[in-house]
Every structure is written in C-alpha cells, then in structure tokens.
C-alpha cells in the first residue's frame, strides 16, 4: 500500500545509515521496552510444540517530525508467515458513512469529542488462538550495555529489562504471546482486547468499530467509542468524557490523546475532522486524496491513465 501514498512521513533507512549506527538506540529500545518489557515472547519452544514457526527481522525507518527534522524508528516484526491455517484476522474498516454518523451524533447531543492512539497496541494484546506460533530470533540481537543510555527510562527499570533480556538467546525459538507486527491476526488481537475493555465499561458494540454506552433501562447512548485499529474517536458529556479518556488510558495506554474542541482539527481513518463550534463539524478527505498516488494502479491494471477533460 505504500506505493499509493505520497509524502510518507516514514522513510526507509539505507543500509549505509544502519551500518553507521544511526538506528542503534532505536533498535535497542524496541527490543528492550516493546518486545522484552511486554513479554511479547514467552518460553523457549521446540518445533513440534507449535503449529508454525516464523522468523524475526528488523524494519528501520526515519520518521519526519513537524519541525522538519527526523528521528530513527525501528520495528521488530515477524516475516515469512506462510502457514495456511485458519486464523481470525477480521477487524473491519470504519466506513466514511459511519464516521459521519458518529460525528453527527456527538454534535447533535452536545457531547465533547476526543481522539487518541494506543501505544504498542499489538505488542500488549494477548494471542488467544488455540493453535500457537513460535518465533525464531535473529542470530544477532541488540547488545544491552551495563550503563543505561536512555534518559526516559529509570535506572532501576533499565536493570530489570536488562535481566529479562538475558533470558533470550540469539537464534532461539520462543512462544509468541502477544500480537507481533507482521502476524496477520495481530490487529484482531487488539480489537478483541478493546472490545473486552469496552464491555467491562458498559459499552456494547453496535457495528464494525462502533460501541455505545447506554443506561440499563435503555434510552439514548451516554457515550460512544469508535476505533480504526489502534486509533480511537470518543464522545461523551464533558465531565464523563474526561473520566472515559482517563480510564481508557489506564487500561490501554495512550501515546497521544486530545479533546477536539472548538477550532481544533484531527485526522481519523483518512478523514479530517474540524470542530468549528459545538453545533458545527466539518469533515473532509482532501488531505487523504492529495496524499494518494493513483499512478501505480494504472500500472497494475496495465491500462492507460485517462486524461483530464
């Protein structure tokens, strides 16, 4: 899909850049915090203990920042998932009509609107499949230095992660416990987790990606949550909305969270949401369409691109 996206903010790093050490700290943090810290991989297993075994690899990129700079990003992901077994991969895609209805409902009821994205959503979502997968680590893993190189990780936490990392050996095969990037069912793991959390909070899923909270005796919904994988759109009366966002943050862990107040904008699932006032919301897909390059589509179809009238 990256072929159809213009001006991507995630640019691949070159081999020369990686060899120079540009992503050394990024890979170490991904390994220590996201993989080891979340216990994404469990006990060591033999081939006959799991249904399939996948390899692990790195994807190193540069993320462009708002100030024109860039910072290194690293993802530790599964590769070579060729097993033909049946796994539940469905998470659904929120329709534009669904987003329109949710925004209209929030506006018409005078609710406060918010948005958030969940940090490490897949890596903190349990694999609930009956048949399990093992992951084989690369022959070389990031070296964990004795001295903590990270300013945002306390020394005692770093020592704990360092001890945990020592349990894993390069080339070993370990049970996949969480939704590793690259697994075809990883997004479904998080969707299952989110649905469970929402149910505990009194929400009922009404349609793909939409859950509402209503009084037991019925009546109008008191709050609403819509999700596109790990991006959330929320609505509730102001006081209740603050509590809702704080509760979801504690249960899921947000990377960013905001209230879409008057005069503010936020993108959600390819739709630009602008809350002009409490009574007016503008929805647009202009930025999505501007950043979509359809030229590769005509190459795939082997057809001539029609000229503009």
pLDDT in tens, 198-249: 999 999 998 878 999 987 777 788 999 999 889 999 999 999 999 999 999 9
Mean pLDDT, to the nearest integer, of 254-281?
Answer: 91
DSSP-derived secondary structure for 147-176: S---TTS-HHHHHHHHHHHTT--TT-EEEE
As a whole number of angstroms, the distance between CA 54 and CA 52 comes to 7
Asked if the model's pLDDT at residue 100 lies above 60, the reply is: yes
Give 306 or 266, the one with higher predicted confidence.
266
Q: Does residue 80 register a pLDDT over 80?
A: no
Report the percent of the chain where pLDDT is more than 90: 55
- pLDDT at residue number 2: 45
**Minimal CA–CA distance to 41: which of 141, 139, 128, 168?**
168
274 has a pLDDT exceeding 60: yes
**Per-residue pLDDT band at 4 (split at 50, 70, 90):** very low
Helices 186-200, 238-252: axis angle to 10 degrees equals: 130
pLDDT at residue 97, rounded to an integer: 87
What pLDDT shows up at residue 306? 67
Whether 154 has a pLDDT exceeding 70, the answer reads: yes
> Is a pLDDT exceeding 90 seen at residue 250?
yes
Average pLDDT score over the chain: 86
Confidence (pLDDT) at 189: 86
**274 phi and psi angles, rounded to 5 deg:** -125, 115
Confidence of residue 308 (pLDDT cuts 50, 70, 90): low
Task: Look at residue 65 and tell me whether its pLDDT is greater than 90.
Answer: no
- pTM of the full predicted structure? 0.74
pLDDT confidence band for 159 (50 / 70 / 90): very high
Tell me how far apart the alpha carbons of residues 114 and 261 are, in angstroms, rounded to a whole number. 8
- Enter the tokens of residue 102: 């949710």
Q: Which among 31, 35, 32, 26 has a CA at the least distance from the CA of 62?
A: 26
pLDDT tens for residues 46-60?
999 998 888 898 989
């Amino acid at each position: 899909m990256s072929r159809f996206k213009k001006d991507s903010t995630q640019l691949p790093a070159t081999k020369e850049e990686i060899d120079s050490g540009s992503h050394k700290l990024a890979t170490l943090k991904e390994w220590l915090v996201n993989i080891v810290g979340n216990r994404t991989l469990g006990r060591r297993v033999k081939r006959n203990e799991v249904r399939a075994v996948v390899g692990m690899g790195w994807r190193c990129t540069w993320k462009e920042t708002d100030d024109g700079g860039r910072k290194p990003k690293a993802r530790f992901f599964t590769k070579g998932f060729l097993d033909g077994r049946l796994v539940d991969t469905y998470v659904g895609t929120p329709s534009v009509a669904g987003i329109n209805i949710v925004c209209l409902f929030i506006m018409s009821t005078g609710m406060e609107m918010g948005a958030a994205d969940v940090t490490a959503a897949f890596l903190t979502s349990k694999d609930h499949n009956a048949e399990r997968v093992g992951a084989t680590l690369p022959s070389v893993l990031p070296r964990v230095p004795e001295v903590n190189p990270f300013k945002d990780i306390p020394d005692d936490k770093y020592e704990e992660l360092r001890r945990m990392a020592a349990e894993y050996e390069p080339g070993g095969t370990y049970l996949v416990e969480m939704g590793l990037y690259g697994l075809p069912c990883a997004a479904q793991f998080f969707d299952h987790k989110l649905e469970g959390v929402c149910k505990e909070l009194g929400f009922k899923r009404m349609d793909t990606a939409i859950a509402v909270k209503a009084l037991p005796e019925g009546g109008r919904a008191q709050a609403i949550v819509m999700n596109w994988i790990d991006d959330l759109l929320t609505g509730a009366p102001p006081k209740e909305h603050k509590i809702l966002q704080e509760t979801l943050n504690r249960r899921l862990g947000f990377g960013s969270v905001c209230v879409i107040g008057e005069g503010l904008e936020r993108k959600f699932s390819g739709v630009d949401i602008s809350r002009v006032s409490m009574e007016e919301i503008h929805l647009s897909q202009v930025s999505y369409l501007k950043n979509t390059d359809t030229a590769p589509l005509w190459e795939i179809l082997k057809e001539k691109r029609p000229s503009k009238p």
